Amino acid sequence: MLTAQFLLLGAVLFCIGVYGVLARKNAVMVLMSIELILNSVNLNLLAFSVRHGSVDGNTFALYIIAIAAAEVGVGLAMVLLIYRNRRTIALDDLSEMKG
Amino acid sequence: MLAADLLVAQNIGFGIIALLMIVGALRVVTVNNVVHAALWLVVVLSGAAAQYLLLSAEFVAITQVLVYVGAVMVLFLFGTMLTRARIGAENDLNNKNWKIAIPVSLLMLGVMSWVIVDGFQDEKLIENPGEMSQVPIQLISDDIFGPYLLPFWALSFVLLVAVIGAIVLARKD
């Protein structure tokens, strides 16, 4: 197993996630793409954890999983709030803060 | 000899799971149905758990299954259910400028993979794969409650604030 193969898989997933964040209009789909990005980072952390023979990468990965859970909870609550007020979750229509 | 066989098996496993993950991730960002996208995301997240097992990180893999495949996915399905009147295919899930995102992400992928391939060449992840033992959970807990105790506290507060914030935001006044 090469180091590069795990990092390349992480890079591919990261870029697919970035595409999703940029291209999607639906707020729930954007949150899903952010989950893809966070998972690719976890993959990198664990690969480097094995490479350096240290458990720090495992600890960081666990912390990232916890942060991601909190992020999804708050994000979906915000999406629900927006839906209740606007009857839509299309991010293009939320332009009140545009200068 | 045994180590070489193990290496081949690991590489085949990696290839199959990686292919599944990439196909699943592409479906997540291209499919025209929010529920289908959530189910494809399950494929990607389970594949990630399998890769963590290949990297001998059992505890993180189990946490991934419990938290992501279990809890986060239920949250997503609830979010879909509560914000969508109709469950089915829709045509307006993409921005009107979504085509610009393709060259952006491809450029990023090109730069990142060039750096990775150039930087790591054919460096082995571990010299002897037979030696790769599972990470003892005791070491992880020593790590969390030792040098990384302060981030652990901060994380506890983040979770508490997230729970309270989610309740406050989603409450009907």
- A15 and B116 within 8 Å at the Cβ level: the answer is no
Of B34, B55, B90, at which residue does a domain stop?
B90
Task: Indicate whether B113 belongs to any domain.
Answer: no
Instruction: State the Cα–Cα distance between residues A13 and A71, nearest whole angstrom.
Output: 19
Q: What are the DSSP calls for B100-155, one per residue?
A: HHHHHHHHHHHHHHHHHHHHHTT-BSSS-GGG-PPPPHHHHHHHHTTTTHHHHHHH
- Domains of chain A: residue spans and CATH: 25-89 (1.10.287.3510)
Report the CATH number that the domain containing residue B8 is assigned in CATH.
Answer: 1.20.120.1200
- A58 and B59 within 8 Å at the Cβ level: the answer is yes
- B98 and A63 within 8 Å at the Cβ level: the answer is no
* A51-93 pLDDT tens trace: 888 889 999 999 999 999 999 989 888 888 888 888 777 877 7
Task: Indicate whether B102 belongs to any domain.
Answer: no
SS3 B94: strand
Query: Does B8 share its domain with B71?
Result: yes
- B140 and A66 within 8 Å at the Cβ level: the answer is no
Q: How far is CA B16 from CA A35, B2, B43, B47, B51, in A?
A: 21, 21, 13, 10, 10
Average pLDDT over residues A16-27: 91
Task: Indicate whether B99 belongs to any domain.
Answer: no
- Residue ranges in chain B modelled with pLDDT below 70: 1-3, 84-88, 128-132, 173
Q: Is the pLDDT of residue A26 over 80?
A: yes
Paired tokens of A73 = 């909870």
- The confidence score (pLDDT) of residue B129 equals 64
Task: Indicate whether B21 belongs to any domain.
Answer: yes
Residues of A in contact with B5 (CB under 8 A): none
Q: Total structural domains in chain B?
A: 2
Task: Indicate whether B24 belongs to any domain.
Answer: yes
- The confidence score (pLDDT) of residue A66 equals 93
Query: Does B81 share its domain with B20?
Result: yes
With a CB cutoff of 8 Å and minimum separation 6, the contacts of B162 are A70, A71, A73, A74
With a CB cutoff of 8 Å and minimum separation 6, the contacts of A34 are A17, A21, A71, A75
- The confidence score (pLDDT) of residue B88 equals 64
Kindly state the DSSP code that residue B89 receives in the 8-state scheme: -
Strand partners, A26: A90
Helix (H), strand (E), coil (C) string for chain A: CEHHHHHHHHHHHHHHHHHHHHHECEHHHHHHHHHHHHHHHHHHHHHHHHHCCCCHHHHHHHHHHHHHHHHHHHHHHHHHHHHHHHCCCEHHHCCCCCC
Res. A97 pLDDT band, cuts 50 70 90:
confident
**Complex confidence, ipTM:** 0.90
* A32-49 pLDDT tens trace: 999 999 999 999 999 999
Task: Indicate whether B95 belongs to any domain.
Answer: no
Query: Does B141 share its domain with B72?
Result: no
- The confidence score (pLDDT) of residue A86 equals 81
Residues of A in contact with B131 (CB under 8 A): none
With a CB cutoff of 8 Å and minimum separation 6, the contacts of B143 are A55, A56, A58, A59
Task: Indicate whether B101 belongs to any domain.
Answer: no
B70: closest chain A residue by CA: A69
Task: Indicate whether B108 belongs to any domain.
Answer: no
Q: How far is CA B27 from CA A16, A58, B147, B158, in A?
A: 10, 28, 40, 32
E strand or H helix that includes residue B58: helix B58-64
* B33-44 pLDDT tens trace: 888 999 999 999
Query: Does B83 share its domain with B140?
Result: no
Provide the residue range defining the domain that includes B162: 136-173
Query: Does B76 share its domain with B142?
Result: no
Of B90, B122, B151, at which residue does a domain stop?
B90
CA dihedral A10, B77, B92, B110 (to 10 degrees): 0
Predicted structure pTM score: 0.90
Query: Does B159 share its domain with B86?
Result: no
